[in-house]
A and B are shown apart, each in its own frame.
Chain A
Amino acid sequence: MSPEQEGRLSRLLAAYREALGDPEPSPQFLPAIWQKIDAAKPISWIFPLKQFALRLVAASALGAAILTGSAMLTPDRSADAEDLGATYVDVLTVSSMDEDEGVLWLQAESLR
């Protein structure tokens, strides 16, 4: 590149700068920026909805934990349930015996 060519390019670019000038922003310039910012922000109703969903999941997990815990702590009454099949006379008979006799009587009854 000769200095003469260099000079020509510099003068051309200077003329380009002068010819372009400075554009004037329109009155809508700032409002349009805020519109674009608002459009790019996360949608406002999604955030509370997400918060609600998270709370709901947490509450469900807590409820499930409480139910499981209480089920584990409650005594097993399935053995008592077997007694429900006995007649009033059977129960009366067993209660009138002492403990060993009662057990033997119940075993004998079940073998019949």
Chain B
Amino acid sequence: MLVEPETIRRAQAGDATAFNEIVHAYKKRILGTIYRLIGYGDDIEDVGQDVFVRLYFSLDQLRTAEVFEPWLYRLTVNAAYDYLRKKRRNPSVRMADLSEEQLSAADAAASGKQLSEDRQKGDIVELTGILLDQVSEEDRILLTLKEVEGLSLKELEKIYEVNENALKVRLFRARKRVLRAYERLKKRHEV
């Protein structure tokens, strides 16, 4: 944990300084997670602030300080989910807008080539964001937490409060959908 359990208990008792310590310790990690979950930068700070506001008003429901991190992750996931639902973009329109260069950059990355230019990185972000738009918000978040954030199934179990097998099935389906969308995209550009 990035803060002492005592700091969390003080924040639970209404200590504003302790709450500020928590924000300082976790803000970068939370903003990074939100960025990877929603995939674009305009509203990251806003969603991040929303996470900490939710934390402030729900601290009294936290049973023990030891489960603080999965709790904070759950709040982050919920805030990102709400945002994605509100800002739902049309996936098919965005898919049609992709250029040959973007697809080449994605192909290079998928083949394991190192990306050097910022423009190429931008292409990867754009294309992968569109691919992730092809699945539901729930699957997008789960897939991102596992494959992009690098969380283990055990950590996901604590966040989602469901068993490992259910998570595996859901992840398998989400990966399959994203791969199908990727193949469709490649075929469209080959024609």
Question: Which residues on A are within 8 Å of B, measured CB to CB?
Answer: 1, 5-6, 8-20, 22-26, 29-30, 32-33, 36-37, 40
Give 25 CB contacts A-B under 8 Å: A1-B175, A6-B175, A8-B182, A9-B175, A9-B178, A10-B147, A11-B110, A12-B124, A13-B128, A13-B143, A15-B109, A17-B150, A18-B115, A19-B122, A20-B35, A22-B28, A22-B32, A23-B35, A25-B48, A26-B45, A29-B23, A30-B27, A33-B53, A36-B49, A37-B57
Residues in A with CB closer than 8 Å to B57 are: 37, 40
B3 at the interface (CB under 8 A from A): no
A30–B110 alpha-carbon span in the complex (Å) = 38
Question: Which residues on B are within 8 Å of A, measured CB to CB?
Answer: 20, 23-24, 27-28, 31-32, 35-36, 39, 41, 44-45, 48-50, 52-53, 56-57, 106, 109-112, 115, 121-122, 124-125, 128, 131, 143, 147-150, 175-176, 178-179, 182
A103–B184 alpha-carbon span in the complex (Å) = 117
A25 and B27 in contact, given A1-B176, A15-B109, A20-B36 (Cβ under 8 angstroms): yes
A16 and B45 in contact, given A1-B179, A23-B35 (Cβ under 8 angstroms): no
Of A9, A10, A30, A36, most buried by chain B (CB within 10 Å of CB) is A9
The answer to whether B45 and A19 have CB atoms under 8 Å apart is no
The answer to whether B115 and A19 have CB atoms under 8 Å apart is yes
A17–B23 alpha-carbon span in the complex (Å) = 24
A10–B48 alpha-carbon span in the complex (Å) = 27
The answer to whether A40 and B53 have CB atoms under 8 Å apart is yes
Choose one: B53, B111, B178; the contact of A36 (CB below 8 Å).
B53
Smallest CB-CB separation from A2: which chain B residue? B179
Whole-angstrom distance from the CB of B126 to the nearest CB of chain A? 10
A10–B112 alpha-carbon span in the complex (Å) = 10
Residues in A with CB closer than 8 Å to B182 are: 8-9, 12
